[in-house]
Amino acid sequence: MTASVEYIPVTPIEYPDEDGKPMAEGDLQCSYLTYARNALRIYFQNHQDVYVAGNLFIYYEKGYPESVVAPDVFVVFGVENRDRRSYKTWEENNQTPNFVLEITSKTTRSKDQGAKKGIYAFLGVREYFQYDPTGDYLNPQLQGLHLVEGNYFPVATNTLTDGTVSLASQVLGLELRLEAGKLRFYNAVTGKILLTHEEEAFARQAAEEKTQRLAAKLRELNIDPDNL
């Protein structure tokens, strides 16, 4: 007699791309998240092995979709620079983020200081920065941590002559600065600020308008600006 074998279909494991929640709590948090993500994308755009993303799910244990974290901004070295719907470490040669930035607040501090911090240490995230745009609880508003033997230690804070707070990211080769409470990235070599495409366009327009005003003023003084 031939024994019958019941076929039980295996339901594929789903890894959702979103949870239906907004990318940030408010306009202020969203603006800095967008700035950091876009500025870093532009900075690394010619590096085909550097991936920059923001508010994207990172799944770090195959078969366990609950093992997930969504940093506000993160950078991974050694993986292809391409768009993804989510980031699964087992599909990326087990490469995890090297740098993480959280736009934090009072309502997210328990996760940012607790669960997420522990997960980032577990994943081997070398640098973990936090920025509190409203100054609700972080003082100074910008702080960084670097990983040493599985534990996080503070990144040294440098105060510039104009009072600007500056922290160096060895992972990115950039400086994170707190200018009058605003987060900005700077090229550590050139000293130039990292701008988004929109900010670059605005800066060019402002420079052109300034040049036109100066030319008009010179003409009022019977000076031809084209001959200078």
Instruction: Give the tens place of pLDDT for each residue, 18-38.
Output: 766 655 567 788 999 999 999
Helix-, strand-, coil-residue percentages of the chain, each rounded to 5: 25, 25, 50
Q: Give the pLDDT mean for 131-144.
A: 92
Beta-carbon contacts of 206 under 8 Å, excluding residues fewer than 6 positions away, are: none
b (16+ CB within 10 A) / e for 48-84: eebbbbbbbbbbbeeeeeeebbbbbbbbbbebeeeee
Instruction: Give the tens place of pLDDT for each residue, 163-175.
Output: 899 999 999 999 9
Amino acid at 107: T
State the Cα–Cα distance between residues 198 and 36, nearest whole angstrom.
13
Strand 127-131: give its sheet, edge to edge: 50-53, 73-77, 99-103, 127-131, 142-148, 151-154
- Residues counted in the chain: 228
State the Cα–Cα distance between residues 186 and 173, nearest whole angstrom.
9
At 189 the pLDDT is 92
Determine contact, residues 23/55, Cβ cutoff 8 Å: yes
At 87 the pLDDT is 98
Beta-carbon contacts of 123 under 8 Å, excluding residues fewer than 6 positions away, are: 58, 60, 69, 89, 96, 97
Q: Regarding predicted confidence, which is higher, 181 or 79? A: 79
Instruction: Give the tens place of pLDDT for each residue, 81-128.
Output: 999 999 999 999 999 999 999 999 877 777 878 889 999 999 999 999
Lowest mean pLDDT among 21-30, 46-55, 187-196: 21-30
CA neighbor of 51 nearest in space, from 17, 91, 93, 79: 79
